[in-house]
Amino acid sequence: MIRITNFPVPLDYSESSLREAVLKKLALSPDQLLSVSLYRRSVDARDRSDVHFVLSLDLTVKNESALLRRRRDLVPVSPSPIPSLPASRFSHPPLVVGAGPAGLFCALTLARAGAAPILIERGKPVEDRAKDVSRMTEEGILSEESNVQFGEGGAGAFSDGKLTCGVKSPYLREVLQTFVDHGAPENILIDPKPHIGTDRLRPVVASIRQEILSLGGTVLFETRLEHLIHRNGRIAGAVVRQRGSLRELIADAVFLCIGHSARDTMQNLFQDGVIMAQKPFAIGVRIEHPRQMIDRSQFGSFAGHPRLGAASYKLACHTRDGRGVYTFCMCPGGHVIAAASQPEGVVVNGMSYHARDAENSNSALLVGVRPEDFGDDHPLSGFALQRRIEQAAWQAANIVPDGRPGFLAPAQRVEDFLAGRPTVRFGDVSPSYRPGVVPADLRALLPDYIVGNLKLALPVLDRQLHGFALPDAVLTAPETRSSSPVRLPRDSSGQAENLSGLYPVGEGAGFAGGIVSAALDGISAARKGLAAFA
């Protein structure tokens, strides 16, 4: 098989027209081209008057060696071998704490190796969470897009399934193929910015969990890690709380996949003596624009083409203090959602359904935060900074008369934010956040260095994407959970520096920044654990 890259085609290409274009490009007769398959597809919108696809194609041809000698732009392709899984040699089932992307793929890898892992999930099954959302929606507390939950962890595996990743790994294709095998759309294998959608992701997560169970694994829901059991610097098990009762689990290895918001569990681990360190992260807001405006800004007259869908963007700029401002987790045709994990605190995030056809598009707009901003040198002081901002947002939006829903979020028009005045009413852009927003002045809850850098960045980013600083665009706050403010150092074997058998994994440990990178870290940790006990 050979691969041709950077192959431009119009948006309305067909299989037959693609085949004809390949024949013409390579000067082949029809009988010489045996097959054409799509490996990767991206959109080239640098010239708004000529938006088109750029393809990478895998071809099988007669006399492949002769064609390779004649064409320097072709490369031979052979499947990259995946190292086989070591057989499990654990004396006791390993514990995997957390069922986000890191935990799911760690447990799945261990299960496929015959390790019969015990997967510890703080919350309810995703099916039951969906029922809770439906009930709260009927009561007028939430919308279907909301993702309010209490307790441990973020909800990486329960977000909208953005699968972009800058990490090179031999297991990347395995992650994407696993999602497809469990019900995700096949186009995630070819798109440069693959996306599943919240509506499609829930059954995928449940299906992956079912495979873990079918391979001998166990899943403990509504269970929280309380303390580690260790002797002579080595893991011996853990104490967990399951529906109010304490339970001791014996284990040779514990894989910590707890997500970047597991503050109570992280405090317990600190008390258990696990080494931790502060790390930089980012804080900011969600910015919303009309989807059609973003589409026009990115695609020009091609906006609305059925093969393009909603447009995305990725923007960044430097600021005078060196922090930088950038967009993150961009949600075309999506919603701003509630993502609180503790009472009396407001946190916002973003998501899109698979169709990406909502009225607005949104993204996080973030400013770099440094350990020196945390207030002291305690390893967990970054959590305290997050909490102060989240509580200030609660105070700004939820001290309201009885009968109104909780978890309202403060929001401000971009024009008002830049002018330094509170928002009184919203304009042409309707905030999508549910259960609702309160017009506010975000200076009341965000640190000065966040406000100052956002004000500097908005006009600069508007020059990169026309309309980004639209006066009626909406800023909803705060976005505090883009990544973890703490790292759990680990050695080359993947184990905690001071505790053998403990494997810090994924975003909560400070080693990932999205669904795919967390899943890859989960696979890597499981493989290292299997090798250590081989």
Residue 126 is predicted with a pLDDT of 63
> Of 150-159, 199-208, 251-260, 304-313, which gets the smallest average pLDDT?
150-159
CATH of 95-276+488-532, one of 3.40.30.10, 3.40.50.300, 1.20.1250.20, 3.50.50.60: 3.50.50.60
pLDDT at 523 > cutoff 90: yes
Asked whether the beta carbons of 163 and 516 are under 8 A apart, the reply is: yes
pLDDT at 476: 98
Give me the sign of the Cα torsion angle 88, 89, 95, 98.
negative
The per-residue pLDDT for 310 is 96
pLDDT digit string, tens, across residues 505-517: 999 999 998 899 9
State the first-to-last Cα distance of the chain, in angstroms, to the nearest integer: 37
Strands 118-120 and 95-97: parallel
482 near 350, Cβ under 8 Å? no
Question: CB of 525 within 8 A of CB of 255?
Answer: yes
The confidence score (pLDDT) of residue 345 equals: 92
Helix axes 198-214, 101-112, angle to 10 degrees: 30
CATH class of domain segment(s) 2-76: alpha beta
Please say if the pLDDT value at position 434 is more than 90.
Answer: no
Q: What is the pLDDT of residues 61-117, one digit of tens each?
A: 999 999 998 888 898 988 778 888 988 999 999 999 999 999 999 999 999 999 999
Q: Which of 166, 168, 164 is nearest to 193 (CA)?
A: 164
CB count within 10 Å of CB 262 equals 28
Assign 131 a pLDDT band (cuts: 50, 70, 90).
low
Mean pLDDT of 198-219: 94
Closest C-alpha to 502, from 224, 278, 274: 274
**Own/partner pairs, 39-42, CB within 8 angstroms, 24+ separation:** 39/3, 39/190, 40/190, 40/191, 40/192, 41/190, 41/191, 41/192, 42/191, 42/192
Distance CA 244, CA 105 (A): 28
Q: Say if CB 98 and CB 121 are below 8 A apart.
A: yes
CB-CB neighbours of 456 under 10 Å:
18
**Buried residues in 369-405 as b, exposed as e (16+ CB within 10 A):** bebebbeeeebbbbbebbeebbbbbbebbbeeeeeee
DSSP state of 80: P
Query: DSSP string of 425-445?
Result: S--SSPP--SS-EEE--GGGT
In this model, does residue 530 exceed pLDDT 50? yes
**33 pLDDT more than 60:** yes
338, 433 contact by CB (below 8 A): yes
pLDDT at 158 over 60: no
In the chain, count H helices and then E strands: 12, 23
Q: How far apart are CA 397 and CA 185, in angstroms?
A: 39
| Residue 489 neighbours by CB under 8 Å, 6+ apart | 275, 276, 277, 496, 497, 504
Which of 113-117, 194-198, 201-205: highest mean pLDDT?
113-117
**Structure-model confidence comparison of residues 323 and 149, the more confident one:** 323
Which of 7-16, 192-201, 491-500 is the least confident region?
A: 192-201
Locus of tokens 């258990």: 272
Predicted confidence band at 153 (pLDDT cuts at 50, 70, 90)? very low
Structure tokens at 69: 């000698």
Cβ-contact 194, 164 below 8 angstroms: yes
- 492 burial type by CB count under 10 A (0-12 exposed, 13-18 middle, 19+ buried): exposed
Mean model confidence pLDDT for the chain: 91
- Omega before residue 478 within 30° of 0, cis: yes
Nearest to 452 by CA among 329, 336, 284: 284
How far is the CA of 187 from the CAs of 42, 183, 269, in angstroms? Answer: 12, 12, 40
Q: What are 246's strand-pairing partners?
A: 241
**Angle between the N-to-C axes of helices 126-138 and 198-214, in degrees from 0 to 180, rounded to the nearest 10:** 150
Q: How far apart are CA 29 and CA 344, in angstroms?
A: 69
Q: Give pLDDT, residue 198.
A: 86
The SS3 assignment for 194 reads: coil
Quick one: tokens of 391?
Answer: 């509580």
Angle between helices 263-271 and 381-398 (to 10 degrees): 150
How far is Cα 118 from Cα 523, in angstroms, rounded to an integer?
16
| pLDDT per residue as tens digits for the range 109-126 | 999 999 999 999 988 776
Query: Cβ of 429: how many Cβ atoms within 10 Å?
Result: 20
151: left (phi over 0), alpha (psi -120 to 50) or beta: left
Which pLDDT band, with edges at 50, 70 and 90, does 159 fall under? low
Interaxial angle between packed helices 172-181 and 101-112, expressed in degrees from 0 to 180 and rounded to the nearest 10: 90
- The pLDDT assigned to 403 comes to 54
How does residue 244 score in pLDDT terms, banded at 50, 70 and 90?
A: confident
User: What ranges do the domains of the chain cover?
Assistant: 2-76, 95-276+488-532, 279-479
Q: In this structure, what DSSP letter does residue 499 have?
A: B
Q: What percent of the chain has pLDDT over 70?
A: 92
Is residue 144 scored above 60 in pLDDT? no
Condensed to tens digits (0 to 9), the pLDDT of residues 318-347 reads 999 999 999 999 999 999 999 887 888 999
Share of the chain above pLDDT 90, in %: 80
Measured CA to CA, the distance from residue 471 to residue 289 in angstroms comes to: 10
Helix H or strand E segment including 445: none
